[in-house]
Amino acid sequence: MIETCLEGFKKIFGDGGEIRSFFAPGRVNLIGEHTDYNGGHVFPCALTIGTYACVRKRDDRRLNFYSLNFEDLGVISLSLDDISYKKEHNWVNYPMGIVATLKEDGMEINQGFDIVYYGTIPNSSGLSSSASIEVLTCYVIKSLYGFEIDNINNALIGQRAENNYIGVNCGIMDQFAIAMGKKDHAIFLDTATLNYEYAPIDLAGAKIVIMNTNKKRGLGDSKYNERRAECEEALAELKTKVDIASLGQLTEEEFEVEKHLIGSYVRQKRAKHAVYENQRTIKAVKALKDGDLALFGKLMIASHDSLRDDYEVTGIELDTLVSEGLKQEGVIGARMTGAGFGGCAVAIVKEENVDDFIKNVGAAYEKEIGYAADFYVVEIGDGPREL
């Protein structure tokens, strides 16, 4: 993959000077959805698919961006003297958000660079191609200019870029999972405190299968910010009588006692998902530690049901993949993953059943939806690095 990126770089920008190569993964969240901005727990892992970059410093203040995934857009050439957000800059707003955030933090970037990106994460799949670009760009710039930025700060810089520059009110999960990825481990992260632990993933002869709806969506245009606002409003109503800083601090029982404080049924449902999903995530990690993969699978299924019924972020495409997936032999659990409204679902499937699973679910999905889904059998990989 890096050879493809390097060839692309030389073709676009020539092969003189020092060209450096980098990689940052995508991520999948096994359980704990829409909890990260509600002060709850998440359980994501980094993947071996992700984003590659080849880069070379320039002597002037030009920033030249090119993506092998968006070749029709050509080279997008900007200047360090104007780093403001512009819609027409398209995907380049993600790396530019990092440049702007670093400059805001007082890090002087006085020389520009030529950079080519090549992503193996499907666009709009919900496997965090945007966060992968953000973490990768931060890692590249840190390495090029000698900045001291550890991986946790890399994640925080990426989140701030997404919140303040892109305008998507995301939590910390995506950037954290990518920046802190560890091979064969998922990250059990308390998003309220950033306390985390690595949990080894032993699937005992099963595989992680990602199912892509191929329904395009944009987070900024979706109802993502609306869901976040509904949760914030529900939290404010609870705080009139309950001493909490986030929905993630409540148990299911505490929520049931206090939910009458939330003035609308819709907001009650949103808050219920945040509370119950957080507790499911805690239980799921314990189940995995206990070697109880069957319970982990049941909690994945309950997570999807809640995302469908209480949070209402699934839609016919994701629901079809999950419901058809759960009919197949050898399936331990399945759920939507990511923000929803399209994107991907994730399933844990016994290795000997994976081929039939993909064939059967693919056929049922195409019959129901009218176009094909894509399937990826993925491995858990490490975080960002220079190659």
Q: Does the annotation count 174 as an active-site position?
A: yes
Q: Tell me the pairing of strands 344-350 and 20-29.
A: unpaired
Q: What are phi and psi of 47, to 5 degrees?
A: -110, 170
* Rounded-to-integer distance, Cα 27 and Cα 45, Å: 6
Rg for the chain (alpha carbons), in Å?
A: 21
Alpha-carbon distance 83 to 92, whole Å? 11
Paired with 188 in beta bridges are 197
CA atoms within 13 A of residue 148's CA, in its CB half-sphere: 0
HSE of 283, CA atoms in CB hemisphere, 13 A: 17
Cα dihedral 259/263/269/275 (nearest 10): -40
Largest CA distance in the chain: 67
User: The sheet that has 44-57: what strands, in order across it?
Assistant: 76-79, 62-67, 113-119, 44-57, 20-29, 385-386
User: Do 96 and 158 contact (CB within 8 A), yes or no?
Assistant: no
β-pair partners for 81: none
| Candidates 174, 190, 310, 319; catalytic one | 174
State the pairing for strand pair 344-350/331-337. antiparallel
Residue 198: alpha-carbon gap to chain centroid? 17
Whether residue 21 contacts residue 386, with contact meaning beta carbons closer than 8 Å, is answered with yes
Distance of CA 343 to the CA centre of its chain: 11
Residue carrying the six token digits 């995530």: 281
| Residues annotated catalytic, as ranges | 174
